[in-house]
Amino acid sequence: MELTLLIEEFKKTYHKLPEKIFFCPGRVNLIGEHIDYNGGNVLPCAITMGTWLAVAKNTEKVIRFQSFNFQEQDSLHLQESYSKTGAQWFNYPLGVLNEFLKDNINLSGLDLFFYGNLPVGAGLSSSASIEVLMAYAISNLFGVNKDGKEIALLAKKVENEFIGVNCGIMDQFAVAMGKKENAILLNCDTLDYEYFPFHSEKYSLTIINTNKQRKLVDSKYNERFAECRNALALLQKKLSVSNLCEISPASFELTKLLIENEVVRRRAQHVISENQRVKDAVLALQMNDWEIFGKLMYASHQSLQVDYEVSGIELDTIIDFCKSFAGCIGARMTGAGFGGCAVALVAENRLDDFKTKLIKHYQTIIGYTPDVFLTSAEDGVKEIAF
């Protein structure tokens, strides 16, 4: 949607111009999957797609929610607190509003109009994008001046306590703190972070949406979470650690037989090896060695497929094609798995060929087509001039 069209929609809905427009991107995790809740390092970046918010204050002490993407709308009188209502999309900005009210921020009424181009449920963090966007907008409009880290933590709290999803910090942090042409190395245990250049003249960051609606993700997530806690408790009999990602691959080799259950052992194997792959990937970026980075992406997917078992035929079909395509140097699933998206590094001069052949290959095996997006590492949440 062009900015002019967003402004027109706002004008049509509220019979006035917006005061301000804000944008918050989605994110992909380049490497480091299912280790955020094990104290690991992750390497996400913000992307070109995301969510826009056109907003104006009103004097009626009413909060009005409208979206170009969803039919549901609401109009609520400003009150001291709110609670989640059903499964409507506006619970995400409402939860953020509620968090600011807890801090006794003196708010006025707001006319809000959201638009996003992130596919919902595809693992690109559309919910985190909305939460961080709303938090940034309120902070800006009412002079609260929260920094990016504070906004990320507030948005995570909303997701955990208001929405009721037990997510880690990575998604909110990546979209709040993104930096153009950089990936973020984030320690999910300490929240220490560092930027590393992520830009290549030869290779393009490509997102492939399986278009499979993810199901069973929550139950499988809770299952993996429990398996990791089980593995940690067994390894702590010999190792003085507080989370799995403190364990080196070498130490794990010496102690892994403490975990008698072979499935639980493989879960720990993925977590510990994936955390090491993140460290190796950062070294590859520092050396500007994209081929090594790509090989680590393939190794990450193999581990997620075999040891952690969170992939599926759709994602594996994409990765198998990528391995066979000479212009693709690396690919992996990104996000929770069981559908959602894959991310790949594709040679600039082979992009059209890659897209055409991948779509044909996927449709032949799966029966419907994927969506292929070209993206890049971008800045986090910001105000848009208009």
Q: Which residues are known catalytic residues?
A: 171
Cβ atoms 158, 92 nearer than 8 A:
yes
Structure tokens at 360: 């044909």
Q: DSSP code of 105? A: -
Structure tokens at 246: 């403190």
Give the residue from 359, 330, 348 showing the smallest Cα distance to 30.
330
d(CA 294, CA 31): 10
Cβ atoms 259, 236 nearer than 8 A:
no
Structure tokens at 148: 């990016």
User: Pairing state of beta strands 328-334 and 341-347?
Assistant: antiparallel
Is residue 121 within a helix (H) or strand (E), and if so which, with residue range? Answer: none
d(CA 252, CA 238): 11
What letters, b where the CB count within 10 A reaches 16 and e where it falls short, cover 279-306? bebbebbeeeebebbbbbbbbbbebbbe
d(CA 293, CA 54): 39
Sheet containing strand 203-209, strands side by side: 328-334, 341-347, 203-209, 371-375
Q: Coil, strand, or helix at residue 23? A: strand
d(CA 82, CA 43): 35
Structure tokens at 130: 């909305």
